[in-house]
Amino acid sequence: MRPTVLIIDDDRELCALLVEFLQLEGFTASALHDGAAALAHCRSRHYDAIVLDIMLPGMQGLEVLRQLRRFCTTPVVMLTARGEDTDRIVGLELGADDYLPKPCNPRELAARLRAVLRRSRGPGEDAGSAELEVGATRLDAAARSASHDGHALQLTGAEFGMLQVLLAEAGKVVDKET
C-alpha cells in the first residue's frame, strides 16, 4: 500500500507542508518535532522511511540517527540546513541513506524517498514492481505508468498514487486515509 514516512523536524510549518505534499505524492506521512520523543516513538512504530533534521530539541538528529541504527534499519534521509561536506559525511557514516540540504524541492525529497525505498526492499519484496489490472485499466508501479483500454494515461504523482490504491483495493470501500 502507501509507504509510511515519519518527518522529524522542529520546523512545524515545513513539516505541515511536507506532510501535505508527500500525501499528495502517494505516501502516508506524519511529523514529530522533538528528537528524544521521536526516537521513543520509533521503538513502538514501524515506518518505511524517516526524514530527519540535525538540529532538534530534546536530542540532536545525529544522536537520534546513531541510536535509531541500534534497533532498526529503516531508511533515513537527512534533511537539514547543515549542508557542509563534513556534516553530510558524518550523517552518511552514521547510517543515513541519503542527505538533502535545506531548502529543498519537495519533489526531489519525494523522488529520493522513492529511491531509498526501492533500494531497501529485498528480492521478492519489491512492491514497486507490482502490476495491477482491473477491467481495462492497467498500472505498472515499477515503470510508474498506467493505461486504460491500451491508451497511456498522463497522471500526476498524486493521481498515480490514488489510482494505485484504488486498483489494489478494487471492490472495497477506500477512505482518504488509505
Residues of the chain with CATH 3.40.50.2300: 4-120
Question: Does domain 4-120 sit in CATH 3.40.50.2300?
Answer: yes
Count Cβ atoms within 10 A of the Cβ of residue 21 and give its class: 0-12 exposed, 13-18 middle, 19 or more buried: middle
Residues of the chain with CATH 1.10.10.10: 127-168
Find the distance separating the first CA and the last CA of the chain, reported in whole Å. Answer: 8
Compute CA 96 distance to the chain's CA centroid, rounded to the nearest angstrom. Answer: 14
The whole-number pLDDT of residue 126 equals 47
Sign of CA dihedral 68, 70, 74, 75: positive
Query: Other C-beta atoms within 10 Å of 51: how many?
Result: 27
Counting every residue written for the chain, the total comes to 178
Q: Supply the DSSP string of 44-62, one letter for each residue.
A: H---SEEEE-SS-SSS-HH
The whole-number pLDDT of residue 6 equals 97
The whole-number pLDDT of residue 178 equals 61
In whole numbers, what is the pLDDT of the chain averaged over residues? 88
pLDDT in tens, 102-161: 989 999 999 999 999 988 875 545 444 468 888 899 988 877 788 999 888 988 877 888
Query: CATH for 127-168?
Result: 1.10.10.10
CA distance 14 to 135: 40
| Beta carbons of 43 and 71 less than 8 angstroms apart | yes
pLDDT in tens, 43-68: 989 899 999 999 999 899 999 999 99
DSSP lists the bridge partners of residue 28 as 4
Dihedral pair phi/psi, residue 99, rounded to 5°: -145, 125
